[in-house]
Structures are given as C-alpha cells and as structure tokens.
Structure 1
Amino acid sequence: MTKTPRNFVHVDTWVFDLDNTLYPHHVNLWQQVDARIGEFVSNWLSVTPEEARRIQKDYYLRYGTTMRGMMTEHGVSADDYLAYVHKIDHSPLQPNPAMGAAIARLAGRKLILTNGSTDHVEAVLDRLGISHHFDGVFDIIAADLEPKPAPQTYAKFLKLHDVDPTRAAMFEDLARNLVVPHELGMTTVLVVPDGSREVVRETWELEGRDAAHVDHVTDDLTGFLQRLKP
C-alpha cells in the first residue's frame, strides 16, 4: 500500500535538528566533533585511538550519543565532555541568508531540538547568520542528558515549549530520530546529503529515506522550505 505523506498546511511549529540539518552534510563540521569525541574516549579510558573509535561508535549506536554511553558506563561528567568535544573550528560554515529568508517566511514558531549543547547551537547559528529566526533551543541539558531518539526527550521538549505535535513538522538528518515524532503526529522531513560531495558518516546514519515514518526527503533544505506555501 502506498503511503500518503503528511503535508504542512496545518503546521504552526517548525522543529529543526542542528548538525547536518541546518548546514550541509559535506561541510563535515561533525567530523571535527567526531574526532574530538574519539580523543576524549581514548584519553579517559587510556585506550588506543582504534579501540576508542570502536567504543565511541558502539555507544553512539546503543545509547543515542557517545556521551550517554560514557556517562552510563564510566561516570563521565556531561559538562567536561561537552566542553571538550565542541571545542572545534566553526569557520567552514558560511552565512546562509537564503535559508534565513526561507525560515523567516514560515508561519509560526521555529525551534531547535538537538543532542548538542546550547553553546554549540549558538556558534553554528551565528556563523550561518540565522540566530534571530529561532524562538527557542532544546539541547541535551534541557533533555536531562537523555538524547534523541529517547521518547521521554520528545515528551519533555513538547511540554516545555507547549508544542502540539499534530501541528508541528520535524526536520532531521537521522531517520531513526523521526520515528517518535511521526508516531506523535508530526510531519517528518529527512535531510540527506546532496550526493555531489563526499560526506563522512556511518552507513546506518544514511539509511531510512524509504521508511514509513519519513514523510518527505530532501537534499536541499533551503530549496525545500522555499517551495512550501507561506
């Protein structure tokens, strides 16, 4: 049976992930964070970079973030972890006034829901020049350190920002993070690489574009938003 994707005519709250969603995958900004995470794991556990990489990716897949795995398995402090892994060079990001204009014309609130930290969000949005278009940020601290795709994280987000999920849309680069939003009634959009540049991702991170819980897929978020009726 062919699925009928949900539309946007009823949407009054627009929810965006941050990394690899509000900027292109090929910028590979997350690659810097990824490398810092590996260094942190290696240093904390006194293991080789190769073993740290294995542990890092295992925890990422099982716990939603490597940080959650390190906290659960090894008692790591979230503050120490976040301060270390987000100390990166944001200069590869360039201002994106076209995206800003496309976001601005969306009717309703615009919120960010991320597994990163508010400091990282602010640095990214400042580089993109789109900070003023957003009405709020829900980060990993607001989530009580429980990352997406944990159901309780979405519940906390919806309650804190008084969001009716049946009148909301969610934009994400990981299909698994759209399962719960779709179950709650949100219109879901998966943002994928444009295919023209090399991206550094795990295989499973690029899967799911044909999943039933994905209403729309785009490799050009700005263009996708521009085509929506205001």
Structure 2
Amino acid sequence: MKFETIFFDLDGTLYRNETGLWQAIKNRIDHFLHDKMGFKWEDIPKLRQTYYKKYGTTLKGLQIHYAIDPDEYLKYTHDLPLEQYLKKDPELHTLLKTLPQEKWVFTNSDSSHVNRVLRIVGIEDCFSGIIDINATDFYCKPDPIAFQKAFEIAHVKDLSTCVFIDDLIGNIIEAQKMGIFSIFVCGEIHQENGALHQIRHIHELKSIPVLWD
C-alpha cells in the first residue's frame, strides 16, 4: 500500500461549504470579537485577515495579543444548532470505509465540535482519532509545528506515506512543501492556485484511484 495514513480537515472538508455551517461559524467569530471584545464591526475583517495570515487562525492571534481563554472562544463560536446545517451522509461513510489507510481528523477546531459534526454526519466510526487544537498545543495549521505534532500523535515516520486533505490553500501549500501528497477540496477547480491535486468536494476522492493502490 503506497499510503498508510490520511489526515482529513473537518470544516469545509468533511462537509460541503454549501451547508452554510462554516459561514455561520465565521459569523459567530465576528460576534465574539464585537460583543465580547469590543472591536468595531468595520475593523473586524481586517483584523481576522491579519491574524489568519500571520498565525493561521483568529484564535491564535487573540491568544498572543489578548491572552483570551481559548475554551470560552471555542464554546462561543461553535454554539450553533448543527442539525440545522448537517445531515447524515451514508455515501461519505461508505467511501471512507473503503479507504484502507488509517484515518485521522486533523483540525484547528476543538474535539467537542468535531465529535458533534462526525456524529450528525454519521461518520464517527471512520477515524482512528481526532487531532484538535488542544492536541497541537494551540499551534494551528499551516504552522509546521502543528503538522509535526499531528505526525507524532499518529506515529508517522515517513511523510511520503501520508495524505493530507484540506479546504484551505495555505494549509495545502505547506503540506506540499513537506512532500506530503495533498488534496485541495476547493469547490471549483482552478489550475493556478498551487495545488497539485484538487477535488470539488470530498465525495470526489474516488477520482483519485492512487488512494486505493
């Protein structure tokens, strides 16, 4: 078997962005910045973009500059009725079960949110474990330290035996730099985004037969 371990991102990867959930989470982040921290609405987009580019997530930037409680932030931003956005996906369950590799969820979110999503989508029995933001000591993708911690948790010795699947191009580019076979879940295929392998949504994994070799 060419590949032994697959790392899956969660939000926007194991469910489609069209569900509206990821946008709802982003809206909750904006409200946290405004309602809890007092930022002006007009300043929030630039702040979040700055933190994303520099630290990988808004949370990491807030921890560094404002020493916020990450548990409070995560609880607030994920306080959503997930059942209104997600539903069981038996097709995805079947697809994941056919993959012969060990599978991990590797996310900048927290395990509580991950477990809720996996349960509702009906794929909680498809993974060996969850590598969340607590497991990586709040280092976030695309920080190489976050990747290294994930490899240690999953007992990966040879990066050429890994697959990484994510919906954010910055994370994909970083993984490609490490020599990891990476698949960009991009919604729309674009030839000039730097991703070597692209699918529109997770169900198109079957279009990459090397995963079953």
- Answer yes or no: same fold by TM over 0.5: yes
Q: Distance in 2 between matches of 1:126 and 1:56?
A: 30
- Whichever residue aligns with residue 66 of structure 1, its letter is T
Q: Distance in 1 between matches of 2:191 and 2:159?
A: 21
Alpha-carbon displacement from aligned partner over 1:198-217 (angstroms, at most 9, x marks no partner): xxxxxxxxxx75345x2210
More helix by share: 2
Q: 1:156 — aligned with what?
A: 149
Contact 1:169/1:186, CA 8 A, preserved across alignment: yes
Deviation at 1:165, TM superposition (A): 1.5
Q: 2:67 — aligned with what?
A: 75
Q: 1:113 — aligned with what?
A: 106
Q: 1:193 — aligned with what?
A: 187
Q: TM-score, normalised by structure 1?
A: 0.84
Deviation at 1:88, TM superposition (A): 1.2
Q: 2:90 — aligned with what?
A: 97
Structure 1 pair 36–209 and aligned structure 2 pair: CA distance change class (3 A): farther
| 1:219 pairs with 2:200 | yes
With 21-30 and 180-189 compared, the bigger mean Cα shift is at: 180-189
2:163 to 169, 176, 197: 169
2:80 to 81, 88, 107: 88
| 1:180 pairs with 2:185 | no
Secondary structure of 1:171 counterpart:
strand
Deviation at 1:123, TM superposition (A): 0.9
Structure 1 pair 220–79 and aligned structure 2 pair: CA distance change class (3 A): closer
Matches within 5 A, 1:120-159: 120-159=113-152
Deviation at 1:13, TM superposition (A): 0.8
Alpha-carbon displacement from aligned partner over 1:126-184 (angstroms, at most 9, x marks no partner): 11100101111101111111110000110111012112321011111011102232232
Q: 2:192 — aligned with what?
A: 210
With 59-68 and 140-149 compared, the bigger mean Cα shift is at: 59-68
| 1:27 pairs with 2:19 | yes
Secondary structure of 1:210 counterpart:
coil
Calculate the aligned-residue CA RMSD, in Å.
1.9
Q: TM-score, normalised by structure 2?
A: 0.91
Contact 1:169/1:188, CA 8 A, preserved across alignment: yes
Q: Distance in 1 between matches of 2:35 and 2:184?
A: 35
Count of matched residue pairs: 209
